Amino acid sequence: MTTPVDNELFQRIVTFRRDLHRHPELAWNETRTATKVCETLDALGIPYRSGVAGTGVVADLEGAAGAPLVALRADMDALPITEETALEYASDTDGAMHACGHDGHTAMLLGAAELLKRERELPCPVRFIFQPAEETGTGAPALLEEGALDDVQLVFGGHLDAAYDTGEIVVHQGAVNASTDEFVIELAGPGGHAARPHETVDPIAAGSLIVSALQGLVARSVEPSQAAVVSVGQFDAGTASNIIASRARLRGTLRALEPAVRAQLLDAVRQIAESTAGAQGVSATLEIVAATPAVLNAPQATSLARDAAALVVGPGGVKPLRWPNLGGEDFGFFLERVPGCYVRFGAHPAGEGFPAHSSRFRFDEQALALGAAYFYHVAVRAGHALAQG
């Protein structure tokens, strides 16, 4: 592994990350985090816009005149989790924790900004996007509304991943994160006495049939090589054992890697809800809440990312995605606007590791140097590629 991150810069990156980890802020409350980012950018002499969509920061580093921009993105928000890591720099805020590595993402991007600032002349300008509210899926579209990708032709992001070893960077063309949609099914009937079910209709019975049908939806309607999930997470109904409820409410999630599969499943959920409710004599209303699109890495950007990763970890350290990731990631909104690539930085810690969103999540901080080096190299290589047309 080779990296332009010297020991002094690495220590600054680690110190910054640990400070953010000790002071986590939830989505749309990243005020202190944004202030710390701005202080570092001031020290580097990189101009920026703060308060973008509330708590976002967008900074531009000059490059060759007239060249299009390359953008690099990091997320800043924490999760509503009480930390149980026993780290010396564990969260000081009850009920908030950086349990997904966003503190590391922000720190490594600032490290990359320092590396790029050292260059005498960049082949193109580089935009650094420090994004709020990734965990709610609302930060990326809000930044887009305020021009975060204006004049940008390629965008790159990444995520620390303790499932892969430090020294590995996962680069994969095509889908790397699923689309996420929520659905809410409301069922209604007149209600009645549990002793006389023949006098009414039963939303609970209808809801049970709908749950059963939805659980088999992927197995019987999606081509087996395609990854997708339909899950019902809530079923609320009834007030007493001797009352047939007048209402039932189902809430669930639908995830797919391919846009065509997403559309197919959304249509199927609607058909199942309406037809099953109709057969049981209850009324049904369906609400679909679209959260995030799939993250689809573009071919050219993926090739650039693969080359940049190889400069950092060697060709043998560049790994394919082991299995489909059905987690959501609002970087997909950026990739709907311009081509780009989203990678994963291996960061398995010493000893026992815990998954992201766990109260005991932690990662190997050595991965921060590799992430900063990757962002530096991919910005330079992408800039040269854009300059050459």
Residues 81 and 165 in one domain: yes
pLDDT at 65: 87
Whether the Cβ atoms of residue 150 and residue 328 lie closer than 8 Å to each other: no
Per-residue pLDDT of 102-160, as tens digits, reads 999 999 999 999 999 999 899 999 999 999 999 999 999 999 999 999 999 999 999 99
Q: What CATH number does residue 184 fall under? A: 3.30.70.360
- Element counts in the chain: helices (H) and strands (E): 10, 16
Residues 157 and 26 in one domain: yes
pLDDT at 2: 62
Range of the domain at 135: 7-177+294-387
What residue type is assigned to position 61 of the chain? L
| Domain-located, residue 15 | yes
Distance of alpha carbon 199 from alpha carbon 187, whole angstroms: 17
Beta bridge partners of 344: 159, 170
Query: CB neighbours (10 Å) of residue 357?
Result: 13
Against a cut of 0.75, is the pTM above it? Answer: yes
User: What's the total number of domains in the chain?
Assistant: 2
Q: Which of 261, 292, 323 is the last residue of a domain?
A: 292
Overall average pLDDT of the 359-379 stretch? 98
Q: Edge-to-edge strand order for the sheet containing 152-161?
A: 48-52, 56-61, 126-131, 69-75, 152-161, 340-346, 169-170, 318-319
Residues 29 and 159 in one domain: yes
Residues 38 and 142 in one domain: yes
> Which DSSP symbol is given to 284?
E
Q: Residue 340, SS3?
A: strand
Overall average pLDDT of the 371-389 stretch? 95
Can you read off the two tokens belonging to residue 222?
């999606």
